[in-house]
Structure 1
Amino acid sequence: MSAPIGQHWKQVNDCEDLLGANFRARTFELSGLRSSGQKSQVHTTLINHIGRPRTPKAILYIHGYTDYFFQTDLAEYFIKLGYRFYAVDLQGYGRSLRPSTLPNWCDSIEQYGQDLDIALATMKQDGMKNVVMLAHSTGGLIASSYLAQPYSLSDKESHYNKPFPNVTGLMLNSPFLALPFSPKLLNSISWPIRAIVSALPFILLNSKKANTYSKSLHTRFGGEWDYRLDWKPAEGFGLSFHWLREIIHAQRDLANQKITIPTLMCRSEISTIGKKTVSEIQQGDGVLDVDSMQEAANRTFKNLTCVAIPQGFHDLFLSKQVARDLYLSSMVKWLKNLNEETNEHTKHLDEP
């Protein structure tokens, strides 16, 4: 995922984050020309927990669609494990929303590579040497597409004249690697969907009702989590056919890639798409089809570990406690193995 041409960034803000004194937020302004030739000016925000300042390894969290970072307990969990914790609110999302830009809008999925470049380069300036990406849903597609690009670390550093850390692993939380249909149905309808969204990119579908998945999460509807409904609205933002077209293109491109970086994919055991009640939705992934997700992951990732979480929600960290604990322990186990492999690799490199 290459950066949009002519793009440059500058830091415009550095302050305590809205999550409290343990969190810092840095805002960056991106301006220049996109590949379409249009002028642009957007913002991206890097949030980090201030704990573990001397640790050279970190987690970088990338959120999903109609989403932003608010999971303070997740950050605290990794801090206790001995990691620094960072999260990025991508351009057009959460803290990076601006009145002059449409929520969640993108010309191309590739443009989010700029957000990840900014995050990684800033983390390197903070002293981070090794980074593991943790990405949810659409963030999983974005991070995977970014890592699939055949660039070397030296190429990145030369392009930006900035040092970058090593990305040593990828953890995926219910990644949006395929449209939310069963594998059989997806094979028969994928072409008509591509044709429709390509022919009508200007269509924007709006919902006026809170969806059942959102009702299963937010305290307003009896859920466990309290987050900003202006940044993560219960009825969602308008669904742009242009956005959906770019998602489909990114998924097709990723299906033809081979990613060798160590990858953990955690997903729910079953899908509950279309269920009418909150209790039914909460038995599994109410947003994506886990079988199509698994097939897509098997095609692309060549060093893949998969864990199915019983009664895991679409965002596994927002699941009820038993499923959440299983999700967290699965990441701990995988990270332990990753660290052992990384240390062994470094040892061999240091040997004469």
Structure 2
Amino acid sequence: MTLSWQHLHSKTDLLGEPFMAHTFRHAGAANDVDTTLIEYAKQSAGKRAILYLHGYTDYFFQKPLALHFDQLGLRFFAIDMQGYGRSIRPNSLPNWCETLDHYFDDIDIALAELYRRGVEEVVILAHSTGGLIASSFLAARQQPDQVSDALPRIKGLILNSPFLALPFPPKVLKRLSWPIRIVVSLLPFHSLHAKKISLYAKTLHTVFGGEWDYRLDWKPAHGFPLSFHWLKQIILKQRALQHTRIDLPTLMCHSAITTKEALGIEDIRKGDGVLNVDSMKLAAQRTFSDLTCASIEGGYHDLFLSPQPVRANYLAAIDQWLLDQSFSADH
């Protein structure tokens, strides 16, 4: 591994003890960038861990998720990737990247640090855009010259509503994919700015009557401006994955239905209000050769942010899959 980084500091995380935030600095495309590794430090001796990757306009705040895996006896870590959440810095645009490959550095740093802390085996759990990034990372690391002995063995991948396809039904997507690619290529410096708060955001945050209290400067209800350059990078990675086969055992969890076109809060709460479930499933079936799918009735786009008992059903699907993979606490 040629990537080098500097450990800046470790301190109690904003989620409170026993969460720790470890900050690392490394060379970015234009200047130095930071990566933050969040550790649930209660479990310290185990050799197996879950590594969580967030989605777009997102960061790690789901404290109960870490508690769940701790109760299974698994260590838990999460990454706030460069330009996201705890890793946002004033010298760069939030959520900006030249290419999604840059986030491979965040994952490499996290894996190396997990190995240094005694983790020998890891399952990656990734949401939405994090799912696309994790899948692309794993596709690249299937090449022998991209594998290092000083990293934990990646034993599996869990996808939470991954952004494997643009948010259109399959037939529409087939017609629109090339026109969209042409437009975003011709206008690389253009960005879309949301004029109002998304209905999906209104289902989540306590300020709008939701269940979750997260930082709206790091996960704004309007979203960050949607860069056409960023969208082009998404399309390129989605297209590349359609010509790749990943053999790693993979669980994809998704909502039972798409509610992206819903006009009201109650309707959007019945399913995935961000991506198209059918296109997601088709894309996953083309890429993953050892794929298990779990349909979560009533699940939100981020399935863990769904209300109980939907959230419990999502976790139960993960627990069963981990059991099937013999990925349990090591004693």
TM-score bracket for this pair, using the shorter chain length: over 0.9
Q: How many residues align?
A: 330
The DSSP-based 3-state class of the residue aligned with 2:135 is helix
Distance 1:81 1:27 in 2: 27
1:244 is displaced (CA, Å) by 0.1
Q: Which moved more, 1:205-214 or 1:136-145?
A: 205-214
Residue of 37, 61, 70 corresponding to 1:70: 61
> Contact 2:271–2:297 (CA<8 Å) still a contact in 1?
yes
Match of 1:107 in 2: 98
1:27 corresponds to 2:23: yes
Match of 2:51 in 1: 60
The DSSP-based 3-state class of the residue aligned with 1:44 is strand
Higher relative contact order (CA 8 A, sep 6+): 2
1:149 corresponds to 2:140: yes
User: Counterparts of 1:281-300 in structure 2 under 5 Å?
Assistant: 281-300=268-287
The DSSP-based 3-state class of the residue aligned with 1:109 is coil
Point out where structure 1 has 5 or more consecutive residues left out of the alignment.
344-352
**Structure-2 change in CA distance of 1:19 and 1:278 (3 Å):** same
Give the residue type in structure 2 aligned to 1:16.
T
1:96 corresponds to 2:92: no
Match of 2:14 in 1: 18
Distance 2:228 2:309 in 1: 37
1:208 is displaced (CA, Å) by 3.5
List structure 1 segments (4+ residues) > 4 angstroms apart after TM superposition.
150-155
C-alpha RMSD over aligned residues: 1.7
The DSSP-based 3-state class of the residue aligned with 2:162 is coil
The Cα offsets for residues 43-76 of structure 1, whole Å up to 9 and x where unpaired, read as: 1100010121111100000000000000000000
Match of 1:138 in 2: 129
Match of 2:4 in 1: 8
> Contact 1:93–1:104 (CA<8 Å) still a contact in 2?
yes
Distance 1:52 1:152 in 2: 32
> Contact 2:125–2:159 (CA<8 Å) still a contact in 1?
yes
Distance 2:186 2:265 in 1: 35
Distance 2:129 2:145 in 1: 28
Residue of 295, 300, 308 corresponding to 2:295: 308
Point out where structure 2 has 5 or more consecutive residues left out of the alignment.
none
1:80 is displaced (CA, Å) by 0.2
> Contact 1:59–1:84 (CA<8 Å) still a contact in 2?
yes
1:258 corresponds to 2:254: no
**Structure-2 change in CA distance of 1:155 and 1:146 (3 Å):** closer
Match of 1:318 in 2: 305
> Contact 2:36–2:86 (CA<8 Å) still a contact in 1?
yes
Distance 2:10 2:43 in 1: 19
1:171 is displaced (CA, Å) by 0.2
Distance 1:147 1:201 in 2: 27
**Structure-2 change in CA distance of 1:338 and 1:13 (3 Å):** same
User: Counterparts of 1:153-302 in structure 2 under 5 Å?
Assistant: 155-157=146-148, 163-302=150-289
Distance 1:235 1:177 in 2: 23
Distance 2:219 2:66 in 1: 19
Distance 2:264 2:71 in 1: 36
> Contact 1:198–1:242 (CA<8 Å) still a contact in 2?
yes
Identical residues among aligned pairs (%): 53
The Cα offsets for residues 169-198 of structure 1, whole Å up to 9 and x where unpaired, read as: 000000000000000000001110000000
The Cα offsets for residues 191-224 of structure 1, whole Å up to 9 and x where unpaired, read as: 1000000000100111132110000000000001
> Contact 2:57–2:219 (CA<8 Å) still a contact in 1?
yes
Give the residue type in structure 2 aligned to 1:186.
L
Residue of 335, 340, 343 corresponding to 2:322: 335
> Contact 2:140–2:146 (CA<8 Å) still a contact in 1?
no
Distance 1:208 1:102 in 2: 20
